[in-house]
Amino acid sequence: MAERRQMVDRVLGLLAGTAVGDGLGAPFEGSATVPSTALDLWIFSPRTLHHTDDTAMTLVLAEHLSRSGGIDQVVLASDFAAAWYQEPMRGYGGGAAQVLAAIADGADWRRAAVSVFEAGSWGNGAAMRAAPVAVVSTSVPEAAELGRRSAEVTHAHVHGRHGAALQAAAAYLALHSGPNRPLDAEAFLVDLTDVVPAGPWQEKLARVRALLGREASAEEAAASLGHDISALGSVPLAVYAFLRHAEFPEGAIRFAVRCGGDTDTIAAMTGALAGARHGYSGLPSSWTVRLESAALLHRIAEHLTHDRSTGGSTGPHRPEQ
């Protein structure tokens, strides 16, 4: 029972971390740099943290997983399209909105996903929502594979899919990391390197390792890893922000926003990892009380964890890191 409560806390942390990162980062999306003073004004404000497409799609995927225990791509595509149809004003990417509109109109997702960009989207929209697949996975490779499957219904491009695989694998490692001892960043990066092919993805992870070695600043990390709307230009930075402050979730999320660029998405991905490691109880309550969708997050986390702990064969195992 205590173990189940702990897992609910971590699953809720994964979802709430996404939402606080999204809400804290959203006002700065597109700013090349984010001065500390401007960020502090927003961090200490009592105003509601509204969420954007990042959290909206994460919640759709989490609900889908809690209903089906896995991914049914036809149903998932239509779940995403229905959420977009109900709330198109959540700040979706331009191509993503067109893909979702086509699916809502009845198009097959396989055709819709290549209808805007010929090879599909390399945007970070699949990575930003991928973390919940970690909850139903039993290994790092399975999380990566589910990340890819969740991605391809809208993001057919190989970089869009690798980004989702990397974020899903990182979320799995964070969710199952031993909370009572320091995170082994080197082992974390070795595991991540295994889920992406040699080439630009592995090169970015090598840069993450080097940047960690010299405790690089937000500005230096963004310049080296990218901080844009592409999967390849944002997921490695989100991983870096998490690892840079692996024992301090508040610091990791703040660092991610300070990186500038696609701030809502980078901070949402970092927040998912920090929340998965430290749980909801590890996130600042001054942030979580401001969440627009707190009740919904709690309900989905309960369902998702309940279905894991009573579902038998697919209950997660917990490798200690």
284, interface contact from Mg ion, ligand RVK, none, CB < 5-8 Å by kind: none
How far apart are alpha carbons 280 and 1 in whole angstroms? 17
Q: Which does 122 bind (CB under 5 to 8 A by kind): ligand RVK, Mg ion, none?
A: ligand RVK
Size of the site for Mg ion (CB under 5 A): 7
Token pair of 257, please? 């926003």
Please, what is the minimum distance in Å from the beta carbon of residue 56 to ligand RVK?
A: 10
Q: Which of residues 205-234 bind Mg ion (CB under 5 A)?
A: none
- Report the b/e string of 215-249 with b at 16+ CB within 10 A: ebebeebbebbbbbbbbbbbbbbbbbbbbbbbeeb
The one segment of 61-69, 90-98, 141-149, 239-247 that binds Mg ion by CB under 5 A: 90-98
Q: Which is nearer to ligand RVK, 53 or 191 (CB)?
A: 53
Q: What does 308 bind: ligand RVK, Mg ion, none (CB cut-off 5 to 8 Å by kind)?
A: none
User: Per rule CB under 5 A, is residue 270 in the interface with Mg ion?
Assistant: no
User: Judged by CB under 5 A, which of 18, 78, 121, 265 binds Mg ion?
Assistant: 265
Minimum Å distance from CB 145 to ligand RVK?
20
Structure tokens at 123: 């945007």
**What is the token pair recorded at 132?**
């919940």
Stretch that binds Mg ion, among 97-105, 132-140, 234-242, 260-268 (CB under 5 A): 260-268
Q: Which of 193, 228, 187, 191 is nearest to 207 (CA)?
A: 193
Smallest distance, Å, CB 21 to Mg ion?
10
Residue whose CB is less far from Mg ion, 88 or 91:
91
Which residue shows structure tokens 């592995």?
202
Q: In this structure, how many other beta carbons lie within 10 angstroms of the beta carbon of residue 302?
A: 14
Minimum CB–partner distance for residue 71 and Mg ion (Å): 22
> Whose Cβ is closer to ligand RVK: residue 39's or residue 151's?
151
Of 226, 115, 242, 84, the closest CA to residue 167 belongs to 242
Q: With respect to Mg ion, which residue has the nearer C-beta, 92 or 188?
A: 92
Distance CA 288, CA 12 (A): 11
- Between CA 303 and CA 15 the distance in angstroms is 13
Q: Using the Cα atoms of residue 254, residue 233, residue 215 and residue 273 in order, give the sign of their dihedral.
A: positive
Closer to ligand RVK by Cβ: residue 13 or 123: 123
123 binds, among Mg ion, ligand RVK, none (CB under 5 to 8 A by kind): ligand RVK
H-helix or E-strand containing 185? helix 185-193
Instruction: Give the closest residue to 54 by CA, choosing from 86, 27, 81, 15.
Output: 15
CB of 241 to ligand RVK, least distance (A): 15
Would you tell me which residues interact with ligand RVK (CB under 6 A)? 52-54, 91, 93-96, 117, 119, 121-125, 157, 229, 262, 264-265
Cα–Cα distance for residue pair 53/22, rounded to 1 Å: 9
Nearest approach, Cβ of residue 193 and Mg ion (Å): 26
- Cα angle value 150/153/157 (rounded, 5°): 95
Among 91, 141, 251, 315, binds Mg ion (CB under 5 A): 91
User: For residue 288, which phi and psi values (nearest 5 degrees)?
Assistant: -65, -30
Return d(Cα 34, Cα 28) in angstroms, integer: 7
Which one among 53, 63, 152, 191 touches Mg ion, defined by CB under 5 A? 53
Which one among 9, 152, 191, 264 touches Mg ion, defined by CB under 5 A? 264
Which of these segments, 50-58, 164-172, 283-291, 294-302, binds Mg ion (CB under 5 A)? 50-58
Contacting residues toward Mg ion, per CB under 5 A: 52-54, 91, 262, 264-265
